[in-house]
Amino acid sequence: MLAKRIIPHFLLKGNRLVKGTNFGGFVDVGDPVSQAMIYDAQGADEIIIVDIDASKEGRIIDTNIIERMLNQCRLPIGVGGGIRTIDDARRCFGAGADKIIVNTQAVINPAFVSELAAEFGSQSIVVSLDVRRNGTGNNNLYIYSGKQKIDIMPHDIIKKFVDYGAGEFIITTIDREGTLKGFDCGLHNSIRKIVNVPLIASGGAGSYDDIVGLFKETDSDACAIGKMLFLRDYDIVRIKSYLKSKKVLTRDA
């Protein structure tokens, strides 16, 4: 069994980190550089940082922030926000990003994932998808940070992304995001059945047992944690210690 990864999930708004609920109601939770230093010291496996306004504002994430983070910590960093072209991705890699995270542009133009994989290698291309359950019990796909629904079934486009060379997926359940009510394990299980690349579950982490449940009930490779870390009394060291006590393999903190 591969060690499960614990990943702080940074949402960037301007030059500050924010956290909200169901992709709204954001509150300031600190400076990205200082927070990166904290989680680096605690033994996080990597960091995901996404600029939530970049796509709708027609720009990419500020690469100066990436450089500043990497000057202060050694963690691998996955970077997303407004990446539309190979040159955008190259700028992020040039700033030190280890992985590129694409969401809106990938859904609009799935072939973009193929272009990125051909240029930089599949292992460095992460597709992020935001889904929300509808009244029939199915999941709809959303872009622009949950603002626009797309008439594509998530499972259908996931299969296409695998064919195009996506190396990893982040699946965020909008209904659970920021609620601290636990992961949608049924959704993550259903996606695991159709892909064999690493899956990061996002949306809902609120307790130690939520994370244990995710790893025991699904074959997710990692969990992305936001509000549980930023606004509750939890840290990476204690999370990994608890997982170890429940026979969940993680990298040492």
Task: State the DSSP string of 45-68.
Answer: S-EEEEETTTTTTT----HHHHHH
Distances (CA, A) of 71 to 12, 35, 46, 53: 18, 13, 15, 24
pLDDT tens by residue, 107-159: 999 999 999 999 999 999 999 999 998 878 788 999 998 899 998 889 999 99
Task: State the DSSP string of 9-26.
Answer: EEEEETTEEEEEETTEEE
In sequence order, what are the residues at sequence separation of 6 or more whose Cβ sits closer than 8 angstroms to the Cβ of residue 96? 66, 67, 70, 77
As a whole number, mean pLDDT of residues 84-93 equals 98
pTM confidence score: 0.96
Q: What is the pLDDT of residue 173?
A: 96
Distances (CA, A) of 198 to 71, 73, 95, 100, 188: 28, 24, 24, 15, 12
Domains of the chain as residue ranges with CATH = 5-245 (3.20.20.70)
pLDDT tens by residue, 22-45: 999 999 999 999 999 999 999 999
Q: What is the pLDDT of residue 253?
A: 59
pLDDT tens by residue, 156-202: 999 999 999 999 999 999 999 999 999 999 999 999 999 999 999 99
